Amino acid sequence: MVLGVSRSGFYQWKTRPESERAIETKALSERILEIHRESDGTYGMPRILETLKKEGKNVGKTRIEKVMKTIKNIRSF
């Protein structure tokens, strides 16, 4: 066993479908990038949060910050 994971456990994890949360995060990431580009790079986390809330999305500032950190060339403040 390498890294304390059995071979069967690894392959079971590898073939598991993507979680609902991961799918939502991917969509959120795309929308955040779109909002940021529409603002010519001027919108940070506060304005993006405001825009998403107006669109009816229930998302918190911490999650937006975390997602923005995963996007290259974008800052959350």
Q: What does the pLDDT look like over 4-43, one tens digit per residue?
A: 889 899 899 899 999 999 999 999 999 999 999 999 989 9
Is residue 76 in some structural domain? no
Reply yes or no on whether the pLDDT at 50 is more than 90.
yes
In SS3 terms, 29-63 reads as HHHHHHHHHHCCCCCCHHHHHHHHHHCCCCCCHHH
- Tell me which residue range forms the domain holding 47: 20-70
Is residue 42 in some structural domain? yes
Domain count, the chain: 1
Is residue 62 in some structural domain? yes
At 76, the pLDDT band (50, 70, 90 cuts) reads low
Is residue 36 in some structural domain? yes
Is residue 29 in some structural domain? yes
Per-residue model confidence (pLDDT) at position 4 = 85
At 3, the pLDDT band (50, 70, 90 cuts) reads confident
Is residue 58 in some structural domain? yes
Is residue 5 in some structural domain? no
Token pair 């590898």 in the structure block, residue: 14
